[in-house]
Structure formats: C-alpha cells, structure tokens
A and B are shown apart, each in its own frame.
Chain A
Amino acid sequence: MGTYIFRRMLWLPFILLIVSAITFALGRFGPGDPVELLLGQYSNPAVVERIREQRGLNDNIALQYGRYLSEVIRGDFGESFKYRGRSVADLLKKKMLVSAELNIAALIISVGLGVPIGLYAALKQGTWVDTAVVFTVLGWQSVPVFLTAPAALLIFALHFDLLPTHGWGGFFDTRIILPALVVGIPGVAFFTRLTRASTLEVISQDYIRTARAKGLPELAIRRRHILRNSLIPVVTILGFSLAGLAFTSFIVERFFGIPGVGNLFIESIFARDFPVINAVIIVGTTLFVLANLVVDLIYPVMDPRIRLGGSYGAE
C-alpha cells in the first residue's frame, strides 16, 4: 500500500513537469510579448530593453524555464501582468477557496440527489417510474447552463424574491444556494444514470440471489449487498466529475458574480496574463491528480476484491 502511494506520487511531478513545460512554452512562443503587455504598445525601446534584462527575458529559454520551475516549487508563481504588483499566489489563494466551496456544495447536491434517485429507478426497472426518471434526468442534463442560470435568477430571485441574486458569503450563506443548484443539477443526471446502470448490473449477480435464497430481509440485502457494490463506480468517477463541475462553475461564476477562480482565469486568458494562467493550470492539475489518488485509495475500503499495487496502468 505504502509503495503504491509512493509510486503514484512519483507520477505527480512528472505530469506537472510536462504541464508546466507546455504552458510555459505557449506563454513564451504564443502571441503577445510579456513586456509589451506590461508597458502598452507604444513604449520607449530603451525601457523595454531594460525590463527584458531585469526580468531575465533575454536569457536562454531553458534557463528561464528552470528559473520558473524553481520558483514554482517554492510556491512563488510570480507577479500578475494585469494586476500590477500583486503576487499570483496571493490572488489565487482566496479565489480558489471560493470556487472550492461552490464546487463542493454542487457535488453534495449531485451525489445526494443522484444516487438515491438512481437506486430507486433501478429497483423499479421496467416500470413507468423507471422510464419517467430516465427521461426527466436526461432532459435536465441536456439543458445548457446558459439557460438555467439566468432562468433560475429570473424565477427565484426576481419573480418570487426568495433568494439573493449576486455576490458571495461563503459556504453557509443563502447566496450559495442558486449557483450550487445550477452547477449541481446536470450532475444529478450524471450520477442517477451511473447509479442506475451499476445497480442493474449488481442486481443480476449470483450473490444477490444467494442472499435472497438465504432468506435475508430485503432491506438488509439492499443495504449490505446492493448499495455497497453499486456505489463503486460512483466513487471512481468522483475525482473526474469534480473537474467537470469545475468547468461548469466557471460559467456560473460569471452569471452570479462570484469572486472565484473561473472569472480570474477567463480574464487572464483574454489579457494573456500568463503567470496567472500557468498558476491556475498547475494548481488545478495537482488537485485533479491528488483527487484521483484519493479515489484509488478509497477503492479497497469499498471492495475488498480490489487489491492495489498490482500492475498499475495495465488493465
């Protein structure tokens, strides 16, 4: 187990190295000169040259990348081009927390509603209930957030005046409800379908028939045998689905005026603020890889048949 974690952790720096190299290269060779961005288009060539020298932009590209890497490892992502004088790490820290809160709230909604609905639909397989659930849920999944976000605002905030429209007050504030719902609802569909499919698979297994034949009470079968086994794929996908949610939340942050990473990231892409872009990508990738590692560690707890450390990567 220990060696398994160690081996997986060895992957992390390797992946980060590649990601940082790609983003660094795109930043340097892509359009937009960093100094020009800093000083504006019509600047004194002498000043430009001085700043290039100061920031080491005239050095060998490999040397620049090495310097960038060593700074990143120490947690220093440099200074934002756009927000002059603010360190990227500072800028990100607060916004990441906000986005994380929104995403976790959305994930709770998705899983909390999706799993029970999926289980219920599977146990009622073949009846009209099952069909109705599948259709409703698929329908919900297909409505784009560009429509649900303004529609939710219009209905709940303006028409019925139930919830506030804009702003942010943290996890325990009514302002999180609407955006979390808008991000979480498509996820409900996703988890419903996943749970339904895996439950159907589990129900047809021999051990369920055995459990019934033993005369176990139906409730015990459902809880101990069906639920536990049908949740395995749900857990697997949790890490990945966070990445999907994160992207939806980017757009929802724009609609609801939430000061999260999404807005910052999109702004920096347009402003070619590469220190910020690189930092978001590197931190995001780290979290994504770690989330998947945690998921892998939860597996054996849920399913004793799964042993880690076999041949990693091979299937």
Chain B
Amino acid sequence: MARSDAQTGQILTGERSRSYWAISLRRLMRKKVGVVCLAVIVLMYGAGIFSPLVTPYDYNDQDLSVSKQGPSFSHPFGTDRLGRDIFTRVIYGLRTTVIITVVSLLTGSLALGLTLGLLSGYFGRWIDTIIMRVGEVTSAFPEIFLVLIIIASVKPTVTGWARVVEDLLGVDIVRLGVVDYLVLSLALAIFSWFGMARLVRGQVLQQREGQYVEAARSIGASTPRILLRHVLPNVMGPVIVVVSAGMAAVAGSEVLLSFLGIGIQPPTPSLGLMMFENGSIAVLRTNPHLLLFPAGTLTVLLFTFNLLGDAINDAFNPRTR
C-alpha cells in the first residue's frame, strides 16, 4: 500500500501508522467546528432526501383561508400567498439543492474531472495537451453566461424528448421536474470539471514518479489498476477540499439561475424560486417571513459549507499537520 510522506514521518517518530483517511477524519473530528458543520449538513441533506417523510404537508397543498400567515404551531415558517406551508416548501427546496449539487458534482467534478485529470497527468503527451487545451477554452469565458444560454436554448428541446419518453413509459417525467434537474445539473457540470481535472493532473504528475508506482508497474500491475488502486487514493485529499468548496458554489448557482427564472420551474419548489417570488421591499415590509425563511435556510447551508471547507482543508492538508 502506498504511503504519503506524512505517514512515513509518523512511522519514524514511532507513532502507530494509520491510513491517510483515518488520520484526516480523526483530525476533522477533533475540531468542534468541523463536527458541528458536518452535523448541520447531514441534517439538512437528510431533510432534503427524506422530504416527503419529514414534512407535515404536501408542497402543493393550498389553503386560501390561511394565506400569508406568520409562523405558528401548525405552520412553523408561516404560509405563502396561496396558503402553502413554507416549512414544507423549504424542505422540498432543499431536496432540489441536494439533487442539483450531488448530480452536478458527481458528473462534472468527479466523473469527468477526476478521470480526465488522471489520464492527463499519467499519460501526458497528446492526451494531456488535448484535455488541457479544451479545459482552458471552457474556462476562458465567463461560465455563467454560457450556462444561462445553454439552459435557455436546450431545455425546450430536452423537454420535447422527455414528452416522447413519457408517452412510451406512461410516467409523468416533465411534471416531476426531472428535465429541470437534468439540464441544470449538466449545464453546471460542463463548466465545473476543469478545476478538478487541473488539480488532479498536478497531483498525479507528482505521484507518477513515486517509487510505489514504479514498483507496481514492475510486478506487472495493469494501468487501470495502478491509476485506481495506487495513484487515486494518494490524490484524494485535495479532491475532497475542492468538492466541499464546489458544493457551496453549485448550490449558489442553482439558486441564482432559478432566481432569474431559468432554473427550476414552478410548482417544483426551490429556494431560489421562493426568493424570486418574494424578493421585494414590499414583501419584506409586510410579510418578511416569506423571504426570511428561504433566505435564512440558504444562508445557513452556504455558511456551513464554507466553514466545513476550511475545516476539511486544515484536516487534509499535510502541510498544516
């Protein structure tokens, strides 16, 4: 098994050797801030994933007799213009955030970014040249412009396909908002892979010359095996840091796009959409709870992500050990 310098150092100083992951996790757990952040994020993501189970109402339940009420026992965050329970809608909004962040990070940063970074760093030459040049071009323009235009122009086409699939399968794909989720996540993914690929490539360039890679090659290990079993575990630390920072960025982008009316479409709840509907002085003056609860939830989520990113950085960065 490969060992990083930090571990070798620990062996020399007589400390018992543990895996990089175990050490990092222990370091993270020793920090109160890190633990609290992890707990908050697990709680919010859990609430989002199990939203139908933890919410008292359905996100579309309208009751005009209780329209625009402040927080009460039956409606902890109050109700909106149509008498829908805001607590329920915020939780379902979190579900949207969960889906978008996870899908776009899995496809963009992790699948594309990690793979291309590994290939680029390990093989070098023309593979490296092509991947890096394409990446430079995608990162050369302000991504959000293109995300906007891609979503605006591609979504109707994808919706058309979805309707065809719908007819074939007899499932309500469009109404569930699947198309919105898909287009939004993938559009964000297109522009998020390069940062990860460049980072992984740099790490691999360092690791490639390591003796353990030479050793693995000399006993006849195949290239995929060397990459996945030997190189990959050694570059995971910085990857985790970038992912935790990326989560906050993607969550923020989703909210921005929904706010502009291009992301998630009603009636699917999204935090951005709720703020879009209520982001005015008039609302803030007369019914502040309509804006404050969704905005507050997003603030807490972004705050914990940023703080967790810092804590993870401290825990995983070998130089701060």
Contact = CB atoms under 8 A, between A and B. Distances in A.
Where chain A touches its partner, the secondary structure class is helix
A34 B24 CA distance: 57
B262 interface: yes
A236 interface: no
Contacts of B136: 313
A14 B137 CA distance: 9
Interface residues of A, number: 47
Given A146-B295, A285-B140, A27 B153 contact: yes
A277 B256 contact: no
A177 interface: no
Given A144-B275, A246-B142, A247-B256, A150 B291 contact: yes
A30 B156 CA distance: 8
A269 to B, nearest CB: 5
Given A15-B137, A30-B157, A150-B284, A266 B260 contact: yes
Given A147-B291, A251-B256, A26 B142 contact: no
B221 interface: no
Given A143-B295, A281-B145, A150 B279 contact: yes
Nearest to B145: A281
Contacts of B157: 30-31
B37 to A, nearest CB: 11
Given A31-B157, A142-B303, A269-B148, A153 B281 contact: yes
B17 interface: no
A246 B144 CA distance: 10
Given A154-B281, A247-B144, A315-B202, A143 B154 contact: no
A11 B262 CA distance: 31
Interface stretch (A17-25, A40-48, A57-65, A215-223): A17-25
A146 B279 contact: yes
Interface in A163-193: none
Given A146-B276, A146-B295, A251-B259, 5 more contacts: A134-B310, A141-B306, A143-B295, A285-B142, A288-B141
Interface of B: 132-133, 136-137, 140-142, 144-146, 148-150, 152-154, 156-157, 198, 202, 252, 255-256, 259-262, 272, 275-276, 279-281, 283-285, 291-292, 295, 298-300, 302-303, 306-307, 310
Interface of A: 11, 14-15, 18-19, 22-23, 26-27, 30-31, 134, 138-139, 141-144, 146-147, 149-151, 153-154, 158, 243, 246-247, 250-251, 255, 265-266, 269-270, 272, 277, 280-281, 284-285, 288-289, 292, 313, 315
14 contacts: A22-B146, A31-B156, A138-B310, A141-B306, A144-B252, A144-B255, A144-B275, A146-B291, A150-B283, A269-B262, A270-B152, A272-B152, A284-B145, A285-B145
